[in-house]
Amino acid sequence: MLILTLMLSFSVNTNIKIAVLKYDGGGDWYSNPTSLTNLAVFVNQNLDTQIDPDYDEVEVGSVDLFSYPFVHMTGHGNVVFSNDQAQNLRTYLLAGGFLHIDDNYGMDQFIRPELKKVFPEYELTQLSVDHPIFHQNFDFPKGLPKIHEHDKKAPEAYGILHEGELILLYTTESDLGDGWEDEEVHNDPAEVRLKALKMGCNIVEYAFTKKKK
């Protein structure tokens, strides 16, 4: 098993690679194909980073998972982790990795039981608006922004915390990833896309530095 070297700073001179998570179960893990590219460009413009806009795809059970400081997961439907995949993801997160799961609408009922395979001892905890992830380079005093409307529910951010540190973020009823997409995909207003990108920038900053302001 590879040893993670994920304590990255924002003065890194070489490109950092990030990835989208490929998973089993039939869910569309490949949703929002332009999201991570646009997010990487925005983060590079606002922070002292050199994230490669050409993101990778990584399977949840692969040893390659350990090459990425930040992994994004999305989709609308079913998610299945085998026991080996769950163990691999657990090891990655406990070793310093970070996973952001963004419910693209329809994932919630499937992802929650699979996360119990990964961390049976932990519950998803709703994050308060004063959590540091909302107060990195950009300030979100009201917490997670709403990007797309589905069931007229408030956006919610949940996390898995290990030894007091957020190692997994789960966002639902928000659709951040849709807001990161190319403008013509959803025709969202510029101010809505900007909110999504700013929140995404905060997530990446927190993942890289675990900065607790």
Rounded Cα distance between 157 and 124, Å, is 9
| Residue at 11 is within a domain | no
* Domains: count for the chain: 1
Q: Looking at residue 62, what is its pLDDT? A: 97
Look at residue 183 in the predicted model and tell me its pLDDT.
76
pTM of the model: 0.91
Torsion angles phi and psi, residue 168, rounded to 5: -145, 130
Averaged pLDDT, groups of 10, the chain, 213 residues long: 39 74 94 95 95 97 96 95 98 96 93 97 97 97 87 91 96 92 78 96 93 45
At residue 3, the pLDDT reads 34
In a domain, 97, yes or no: yes
Alpha helices in the chain (DSSP H): 35-46, 83-94, 108-118, 176-180, 183-186, 190-209
Burial class (CB in 10 A: 0-12, 13-18, 19+), 8: middle
Q: 54 in a domain, yes or no?
A: yes
Asked if residue 2 is part of any domain, the answer here is no
In a domain, 165, yes or no: yes
Task: Return the CATH number at 171.
Answer: 3.40.50.12140
